[in-house]
Amino acid sequence: MRDYFAQIRPTMTFEIFPPKGSGDLASIFATVDALASLAPDLISVTYGAGGTSRENTVEIASQIQNSYAIPALAHLTCAGNSKEELDPVLRTLSENGVKNILALRGDIAEGEKLKDFRYASDLISYIKSRYDFRIFAACYPEKHIEAYSMEDDLRCLKEKADCGVDVLISQLFFDNELFYRFRDQAKSIGIDTPIVAGIMPITSSSQISRMVSMCGATVPEKVQKIIRAFGHNSMAMKEAGIAYATAQIVDLLATGVDGIHLYTMNQPDIAKRISENIRGILYSLRVKRG
Ligand code: FAD
């Protein structure tokens, strides 16, 4: 199996989420089948995001790694977990050959108390001290929604990166200029960890409102215009979303991004269209970098 990031730049990775509740896994593996045919460099599996179940992340990531021979990235959160609860999860992932963990604090439900880990950096230090995983972590081009200022958030990001993060994956954004500004700021304070750009194709106006209220991403006038014009027409909206995400990615690739992480929303048809649009460019960049 290829060694992710050691040889390949820029990377193309996909994110999926497990079904809600105890849910039937057949549909998620149909999604993985379709995504696997696009030969991504890695597929990541969320953990408890947006109310999805936590117990299936290990099973899905392990199958991606072993049955599909695609490097898997398992997300894990401080929220909802003590050391005792996380150790068996980490051991199983390791035994199943999963080499990559995205270590997150997680979103905290109202009234929820964190157990042994307060910040993602605590979880990263713990995993680094006991296990041998490649560590990914989250970063926020428009600052984390709870952070007081961009400067504070960047200072925390530097501390987190210094705990031994191998790759940072960004929160979704619709304005590339904000990503470039963030990348420059991160570099200027000594963060030299590769930063992969998280891209979520717009598929409906309700999806945008939900995401923006969750993460506070700026919706540029161009995107607002698309929503006004096509929000009532699902087919046109989907086409416009694919075109917008493609243009964002082409611009990012032209500006030397380390990688693209596509939030697929478990919609492989959209991932396929975008992958096909950028395949030639990605290939030419990879050839250039050897
Ligand atoms: P942290 O890095 O811990 O930061 C959280 C906040 O605390 C920030 O405001 C930061 O500035 C501040 N902070 C950090 N360290 C310190 C410190 N030492 N002192 C004071 N303040 C500090 N959520 C899920 O539940 N499941 C998922 O699978 C999931 N996947 C995600 C994937 C990606 C790529 C991204 C970008 C996000 C994902 N999330 C997921 C959401 C994420 O859990 C939330 O954004 C969460 O609110 C913050 O997580 P974090 O790991 O960035 O937290």
**285 exposure class (CB count in 10 Å sphere: 0-12, 13-18, 19+):** middle
- According to the model, what pLDDT value does residue 252 have? 98
- According to the model, what pLDDT value does residue 284 have? 94
How far CA 239 is from CA of 38, 201, 231, 232, 246, in Å, comes to 19, 10, 11, 13, 11
Protein residue with its CA nearest to atom 42 in ligand 1: 106
Least confident of 41-50, 78-87, 215-224, 239-248: 41-50
Least confident of 92-96, 99-103, 133-137, 208-212: 208-212
Rounded CA separation 103/185 (Å): 22
Which tokens belong to 6? 């050691």
Q: CA-based angle 98:102:104, to the nearest 5? A: 140
- According to the model, what pLDDT value does residue 54 have? 75
Nearest to 246 by CA among 280, 221, 218, 287: 280
Ligand 1 atom nearest the C-alpha of 169 is: 34
Q: How confident is the model at residue 1 (pLDDT cuts 50, 70, 90)?
A: very low
- According to the model, what pLDDT value does residue 177 have? 98
The residue segments making up the domain with residue 116 are: 2-289
47 C-beta closer than 6 A to ligand 1: yes
Which tokens belong to 283? 């290939």
Nearest to 252 by CA among 276, 227, 224, 285: 285
Which tokens belong to 268? 């492989």
129: domain CATH number is 3.20.20.220
How far CA 244 is from CA of 10, 80, 136, 177, 227, in Å, comes to 20, 36, 27, 15, 12
168 C-beta closer than 6 A to ligand 1: no
Least confident of 66-70, 118-122, 205-209, 280-284: 205-209
Rounding to the nearest 10 degrees, give the CA dihedral for residues 82, 135, 164, 119.
Answer: -40
Average pLDDT, the chain: 94
Q: In 3-state terms, what secondary structure has residue 135?
A: strand
Rounded CA separation 95/90 (Å): 9
When pLDDT is averaged across residues 49-58 and rounded to a whole number, the result is: 79
> How many domains would you assign to the chain?
1
75 C-beta closer than 6 A to ligand 1: yes
When pLDDT is averaged across residues 76-102 and rounded to a whole number, the result is: 96
Q: How far is the CA of 7 from the centre of ligand 1 (A)?
A: 28
- According to the model, what pLDDT value does residue 288 have? 61
121 C-beta closer than 6 A to ligand 1: yes
Report the percent of the chain where pLDDT is more than 70: 94
pLDDT digits (tens, 9 = 90+) for 164-183: 999 999 999 999 999 999 99
Q: How far is the CA of 235 from the centre of ligand 1 (A)?
A: 34
Q: How far is the CA of 156 from the centre of ligand 1 (A)?
A: 10
The residues that are catalytic are 15
Which tokens belong to 129? 């001290």
Residue 194 has pLDDT above 80, yes or no: yes
